[in-house]
Amino acid sequence: MPTNRAFADPNLAPANFGSFSKQEIDADSAARALDQLEPIPKVRSTTPMDLSMVLGAAAEQSIQTSGKIVFHTVGDTGGIHNPEFQFAVADAMSDDTASGACFWYHLGDVVYYCGQEQYYYEQFYDPYRNYGAPIFGIPGNHDAVVFSGDKTASLAAFQSNFCAAQPGHNPDSQGAVRTTMDQPGVYFTLNTPFAKFIGLYTNTGEGSTEGVISGGKVGNAQLTFLQQQLASAKAERAKGQWRALIIATHHPPFTASPQHVPSPTMLKQIDQACAAAGIQPDLHLSGHAHLYERYTRTVNGKQIPYIVAGMGGYYNLPGLKPGKKAAPPSTPQSGTDASNNPLTLETYNDTTFGFLRITVSPASITGDFVTVDPTSGKTGNGDSFTVDLKANRVSNGASSGTTASSKGAAKGSAASKTKPGAASVKSAKTPAKKSSKAKKKTASRKRAK
C-alpha cells in the first residue's frame, strides 16, 4: 500500500457523539438551506482515477488474479440525532471487509445537514475508524447545500476531504489516521479491475426537487465529461479492454419514496449520452431516498439493475417514522418508464438499515443487500441479485442466510400493470412504524478498543 495513505484507525480515542449539544443539533437542523442550484466546482482532471493509485500495484494484481472485485456501496450515512444506526452499519461494514471488499463507494450525503466541516469527525472519521479500506464518494445534496448567512462555498468541506490534491491529514479528522482521498473532482471516473465507475454530482435538490447534472447555472461541463467517458468506455471494449460499466448518482432515476422524487430529466440526459456513445450501463447506483429499492429496467433488450441504497445510517427511514401511512408498494410491480422502457420494482424496504456488497467478475455482477439490526448488530440478507453480463439478464435470488432481522422487505405479489416510473412511484406511501429505541452507542460501543 502506498505509504502516504492510511485507512483503519482502531486505536483512535472514542468520541462521544453525545458531545453534540442539543443547541448544536437544533441550530444545524434549523439552518435554512438556500433553495438554489449551485455551480459545479471545476475538476482538476477528467483523466480516470485508477484503483492502483490508491491500493498499489500489488493489491490490484491480486484482484486480477482472483478473477473478481468486491466492494461496498451505500449512501446517506450521516448519524445526526440517532448515531447508533450509523455506528451499527459502520461496524458491520468494517467486519464485512473480511469478505474481500477492497473499497467503499459512498453514494452521497456524508454529513448532515449542510455538509459543515465541523461535523466530519463525528459523522465520518470516527464511525469508520475500523474500516480498513479506501472510501471513494460522490457528493449528496446535503454535502453541497449552503444556508443563509453561510460564508463557506458549496462543497468546500467535501472537496477538502475527498478531492484533496494529495492524500494527507485534514484538520476535520481531529487526529484520525485516515488520510483524505484525492479524487480529481466531485464527478470522476474510477477504473478498477473488472469495473469502471462514472460518478456524477447531481446538485442540491431535496425532497420534491429532482437531481440535476447539467444546464443553466450548473453548466454543461459535467455532461460533456459523461459523453467523453462513455465514448472512452465503448472504445476500450472495442479493443478488448472490457469492464462492467457502473454509473453512480446521488439522486435516483426511480424511487417510490414518499419523501423524495425520481429524476426523469437527469435520466433522459444520461440515456441520450449512452445512446450517442452506443453503450448502456450494467448497473446504476444511487442514494438520496432513505430506503432500499431495486428496479430492473430493460433498454433495447438489455436488463439493467437500478439500485437505490440510502439506508446507510441517517436515522429517518420512512418506515421508522411515527405516523399514519398507507401500505408500501407491492413487489414485483411492473410497468414502463417515461421512455416506454419496461421497468419492474423488484423489491422495496424502508424499515431496515444496511449496505450493499457487490462482486464483479468478467461474467457477472452479484449484489447482496446486507441488513443490519442496530440493537444487536446482527446482519442478514435482505435481497440478492445477479447480472449475467453475457446474456444481459438480471435474476433475483435471496441467500439461504436470511434472518428475522432482514425480513423488513416488502413481500412480492403478482405483478401489477402499473407504471413504477417518474409519474407513479413518487406518490407511493409507506406504513407507520415506531422509531427505533436502540440505545445510543458512544464511548462504550464495541469499536472502542
Residues 11-22 pLDDT 10s: 765 555 556 666
User: Among 96-105, 115-124, 183-192, whose mean pLDDT is lowest?
Assistant: 115-124
* pLDDT at site 238: 97
Mean pLDDT of 85-110: 97
Q: Is the pLDDT of residue 429 over 70?
A: no
Distance CA 206, CA 89 (A): 24
Q: pLDDT tens for residues 387-426? A: 999 999 999 974 333 333 333 333 333 233 333 333 333 3
Mean pLDDT of 53-73: 97
pLDDT band at 274 (very low <50, low <70, confident <90, very high): very high
Q: Is the pLDDT of residue 375 over 80?
A: yes
pTM of the model: 0.88
Mean pLDDT of 362-390: 97
Q: Is the pLDDT of residue 323 over 70?
A: no
Q: Is the pLDDT of residue 101 over 60?
A: yes
Distance CA 286, CA 211 (A): 11
pLDDT band at 292 (very low <50, low <70, confident <90, very high): very high
Counting residues of the chain whose pLDDT is more than 90, the rounded percentage is 74
Q: Are 43 and 188 in contact (CB under 8 A)?
A: yes
pLDDT band at 30 (very low <50, low <70, confident <90, very high): low
Q: Domains in the chain, ordered, with CATH?
A: 42-427 (3.60.21.10)
Report how far apart the first and last C-alpha atoms of the chain are (Å, whole number).
24
Answer with the residue of higher pLDDT: 121 or 2. 121
Counting residues of the chain whose pLDDT is more than 70, the rounded percentage is 82
Q: Is the pLDDT of residue 89 over 60?
A: yes
The residue written with cell numbers 429505541 in the block is 437
* pLDDT at site 406: 34
